[in-house]
Structure 1
Amino acid sequence: MNYIDNALRVPFALASAVRRARVFHAHGLVARGHAELGSHWWPVQGRIPVSVRLSRGIGLPGAVPDVLGLSVRLHLAAGPWDLLLASTDPFTRFLPVPALGWSTARYSSLNAFRTPDDDSRTWVLATPEAGQPRTASLSALSDADPPHFTLSLAHSRSDTTPAGRLSLETPLSADDNEQPDFDPVLNHPEGLEMWPQWVADARRAAYSGSRSGRHSVEA
């Protein structure tokens, strides 16, 4: 572990231990469902089971606008693929911004993906379909029907293209025991890497620190 890793890992571990939760997106709701992946960009296509967590990034109270999170675990035969999306400005793909409500949030993977032999970059995007609350309150979301999202891909060398649909099928639950540790740096298909690499490295150290801080409290 190098100096930069320690510089990020230790503060996140301490903050997570003090907060007894994730540093960001501490509180959220989880559900299970499936994704219909309809683009050849995906390593697999078709119907894939998923676990999903919807959360508020900073943890501001009530319905105050916040950076909203959409964490998706694709349960692939080769292992889990974690996609962490956050609400962003409609004109950017990498800058998280607060959303006024679940119905108006526009999500992006923030980091792009690419293969080692191809310099083109692809962002995963998600848009909420009708029926989600107009506020950013977790309580309003828990009272609503399981949400659905339209998936698309933003490419560095072409326009945005349709990519499928994400459907939740179980009621949203706040049970912490059902909430997995999502990690997009560790859990991804072989041959697909996050870009830019330095951001992926920073996220890896931060996630590792946050996990160790939470687990030290639980122990």
Structure 2
Amino acid sequence: MNYIDSALRVPFSLASTLRRARVFHAHGVVAQGHAELGSHWWPVQGRVPVTVRLSRGVGLPGSVPDILGLSIRLHLAARPWDLLLASTDPVTRFLPCPALSWSTAQYSSLNAFRTPDNDSRTWVLASPDAGQPRTASLNALSTADPLHFTLSLARSRSDTTAAGRLSLETPVSIGDDEEQPDFDPVLHHPDGLEMWPEWVADARRAAYSGSRSGRHSVDA
């Protein structure tokens, strides 16, 4: 167990046990849909089925601005790929920042991705299309029109290219934490693609493992 494991796994396990839910993004809304991937950077191109979870990071009440989450599971033939995006500072696009509403949130993967033989770093971005709720309330999503997002890839703040679209086809549903899928970008990713910087992957691995073990200890 490295120092990151020691620093994060136990605190996240305890916090999850006390909260009886995920430490962050404890409550969310799940929807089914598809992505149209149009860049050769993706491991596949074309139409891919997805499961998406929209959530509030800190869990502040009602429509109070919060760090909004957009978790995307791409159901690839080989294995699922989980992308966890969060609302970010509109200037840098790489720092988590509370959003006033679902309609104004700008999402980023926060960490970059790269291949072992290529040091080029790529972030995944998502922007909401028109028509999303002008509030940050989860309840507003259950009565919203179908949600659509534009996907982009960024290699720097000024180097961003269009990469596809995300469409949620079925009505969203609000459920309890344990009724919803666990998204884990450390466990679920394509072969040959790794997170950068490496300590981010180590931190996420320890945090997710601790959070899961804390929730499971409540059920035991």
The letter of the residue matching 2:204 is R
Correspondence 1:138 to 2:138: yes
Pairwise CA distance, 1:158? 7.2
The Cα offsets for residues 34-79 of structure 1, whole Å up to 9 and x where unpaired, read as 0000000001101000000000000000110000000000001110
- The residue that corresponds to 1:118 in the other structure is 118
Q: Closer, same or farther in 2 for the Cα pair 1:74/1:178, shift >3 Å?
A: farther
**Moved >6 Å (runs of 4+):** none
Matching of residues 115-194 of structure 1 within 5 Å:
115-156=115-156, 159-176=159-176, 178-194=179-195
- The residue that corresponds to 2:207 in the other structure is 206
Percent identical? 85
The letter of the residue matching 2:4 is I
Residue pair 1:194, 1:200 contacting (<8 A) in 2 also: yes
Q: Closer, same or farther in 2 for the Cα pair 1:197/1:5, shift >3 Å?
A: same
The letter of the residue matching 1:173 is S
Residue pair 2:92, 2:157 contacting (<8 A) in 1 also: no
Pairwise CA distance, 1:2? 2.6
Pairwise CA distance, 1:89? 1.1
The letter of the residue matching 1:93 is R
Residue pair 2:93, 2:106 contacting (<8 A) in 1 also: no
In the alignment, the residues of structure 2 paired with residue 91 and residue 3 of structure 1 have an alpha-carbon distance, to the nearest angstrom, of: 32
In the alignment, the residues of structure 1 paired with residue 6 and residue 126 of structure 2 have an alpha-carbon distance, to the nearest angstrom, of: 33
SS in 1 for 2:119: coil
SS in 2 for 1:54: strand
Residue pair 2:4, 2:202 contacting (<8 A) in 1 also: no
The letter of the residue matching 1:133 is P
Unaligned runs of 5+ in 1: none
RMSD: 1.3
Residue pair 2:31, 2:168 contacting (<8 A) in 1 also: yes
The letter of the residue matching 1:152 is S
- The residue that corresponds to 2:198 in the other structure is 197
In the alignment, the residues of structure 2 paired with residue 86 and residue 4 of structure 1 have an alpha-carbon distance, to the nearest angstrom, of: 22
- The residue that corresponds to 1:105 in the other structure is 105
SS in 1 for 2:113: strand
In the alignment, the residues of structure 2 paired with residue 114 and residue 156 of structure 1 have an alpha-carbon distance, to the nearest angstrom, of: 13
In the alignment, the residues of structure 2 paired with residue 110 and residue 71 of structure 1 have an alpha-carbon distance, to the nearest angstrom, of: 12
Residue pair 1:30, 1:178 contacting (<8 A) in 2 also: no
With structure 2 as the length reference, what TM-score do the two structures score?
0.96
In the alignment, the residues of structure 2 paired with residue 89 and residue 186 of structure 1 have an alpha-carbon distance, to the nearest angstrom, of: 27
Pairwise CA distance, 1:90? 1.7
In the alignment, the residues of structure 2 paired with residue 207 and residue 182 of structure 1 have an alpha-carbon distance, to the nearest angstrom, of: 9
With structure 1 as the length reference, what TM-score do the two structures score?
0.97
The letter of the residue matching 1:167 is S
The Cα offsets for residues 106-131 of structure 1, whole Å up to 9 and x where unpaired, read as 00000000001111100000000111
SS in 1 for 2:118: coil
SS in 1 for 2:174: coil
Pairwise CA distance, 1:157? 9.7
Unaligned runs of 5+ in 2: none
